[in-house]
């Protein structure tokens, strides 16, 4: 009698597991769909020397020298940054944050850097929030795509991508990078005060998907 009840228990267990998996499969897409789109366009000023310097070489790569770049750039060079982030391409435009992190010359033959930075927003609707950006920056290409791998505050659990461009080169010491952020966060995250772009030109859009 005890042995005849085992198959029944197994059938009940299989049915229960199947029900749980079916519910999870139905709920997960709904949760993923409930995300808030975040579009930002800001400008990062990387100043490698002189007045207002914001980046410093902390590891001098042992080489070899990179033939695609000016003399003195070696494979493995690692730079730490605290770059000013502004709403427009001019350094004189309103400061809206800082880009803090590192980039490393990661190719022996091409001008390719591995980037790992956190953009700390200090003005606008996402004031106090951060967005984490990582990826491969081949500066020989006009547009590079890097990944949004996280965030904090109102940008917690952000994911998406950044279209990364060299907007202009002010001098041999000052490059301006455009960061066009296409990301999303869970809809449960706190929405920014006044989610439109009025008064905040760097906020492109913010709408539910």
One domain for residues 101 and 72: yes
One domain for residues 48 and 120: yes
One domain for residues 29 and 56: no
pLDDT tens-place string over residues 93-116? 999 999 999 999 999 999 999 999
Residue 150 φ/ψ region, left for φ over 0, alpha for ψ in the -120 to 50 degree band, beta for the rest: left
By C-alpha distance, which of 104, 102, 130 is closest to 116?
A: 102
One domain for residues 48 and 22: no
Read off the tokens for 74. Answer: 């070696």
Q: What is the pLDDT of residue 206?
A: 44
The number of beta carbons lying within 10 Å of the beta carbon of residue 203 is 23
Q: If you average pLDDT over each of 66-70, 176-180, 194-198, which comes out highest? A: 176-180
Residue 36: which H helix or E strand, with range?
strand 35-47
Q: Are 198 and 192 contacting, i.e. CB atoms less than 8 angstroms apart?
A: no
DSSP state of 51: T
One domain for residues 42 and 26: no
User: How sure is the predictor about 15, in pLDDT bands with cuts at 50, 70 and 90?
Assistant: confident
Helix residue spans in the chain (DSSP H): 2-33
Could you tell me what percent of the chain has a pLDDT over 70? Answer: 81
Q: What is the pLDDT of residue 195?
A: 44
User: How sure is the predictor about 19, in pLDDT bands with cuts at 50, 70 and 90?
Assistant: confident
Residue 186 has pLDDT above 60, yes or no: yes
Q: How far out from the chain centre does Cα 56 lie?
A: 21
Residue 205 has pLDDT above 70, yes or no: no
The number of beta carbons lying within 10 Å of the beta carbon of residue 13 is 10
One domain for residues 153 and 68: yes
Three-state DSSP class for residue 13: helix
One domain for residues 29 and 44: no
Domain CATH for 62: 2.40.480.10
The secondary structure of 111-160 as a DSSP string is -EEEEEEEEEE-SSTTTT-EEEEEEEEETTSSEEEEEEEEEEGGGTT-EE
Q: Residues, the chain, total?
A: 209
Q: How many domains does the chain have?
A: 2
Residue 78 has pLDDT above 90, yes or no: yes
Q: What is the pLDDT of residue 191?
A: 57
One domain for residues 166 and 81: yes
User: How sure is the predictor about 10, in pLDDT bands with cuts at 50, 70 and 90?
Assistant: confident
* Average pLDDT for the chain: 86
By C-alpha distance, which of 137, 103, 136, 97 is closest to 117?
A: 103
One domain for residues 29 and 117: no
Residue 21 has pLDDT above 80, yes or no: no
Q: Are 140 and 166 contacting, i.e. CB atoms less than 8 angstroms apart?
A: no
Show the domain range for 68: 36-205
How large is the average pLDDT for residues 34-54? Answer: 95
Residue 187 has pLDDT above 80, yes or no: yes
Q: What is the pLDDT of residue 30?
A: 53
One domain for residues 2 and 89: no
One domain for residues 3 and 82: no
Among 1-10, 30-39, 59-68, 157-166, the range scoring the smallest mean pLDDT is: 1-10
Q: What is the pLDDT of residue 18?
A: 74
How large is the average pLDDT for residues 5-20? Answer: 71
């Amino acid at each position: 009698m005890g042995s005849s009840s085992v198959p029944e228990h197994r059938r009940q267990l299989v049915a229960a597991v199947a029900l749980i998996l079916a519910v999870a499969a139905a709920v997960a897409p709904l949760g993923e769909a409930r995300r808030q789109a975040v579009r930002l366009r800001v400008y990062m000023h990387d100043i490698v020397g002189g007045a207002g310097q914001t980046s410093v070489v902390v590891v001098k790569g042992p080489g070899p020298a990179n033939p695609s770049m000016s003399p003195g750039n070696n494979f493995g060079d690692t730079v730490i940054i605290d770059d000013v982030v502004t709403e427009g391409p001019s350094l004189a435009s309103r400061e809206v944050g800082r880009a803090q992190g590192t980039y490393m010359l990661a190719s022996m033959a091409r001008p390719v850097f591995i980037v790992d930075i956190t953009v700390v927003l200090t003005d606008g609707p996402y004031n106090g929030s951060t967005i984490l950006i990582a990826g491969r920056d081949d500066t020989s290409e006009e547009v590079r795509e890097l990944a949004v791998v996280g965030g904090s505050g109102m940008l917690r659990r952000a994911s998406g991508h950044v279209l990364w461009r060299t907007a202009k080169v002010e001098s041999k010491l000052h490059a301006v990078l455009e960061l066009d952020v296409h990301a999303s966060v869970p809809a449960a995250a706190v929405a920014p005060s006044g989610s439109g772009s009025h008064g905040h030109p760097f906020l492109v859009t913010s709408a539910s998907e």
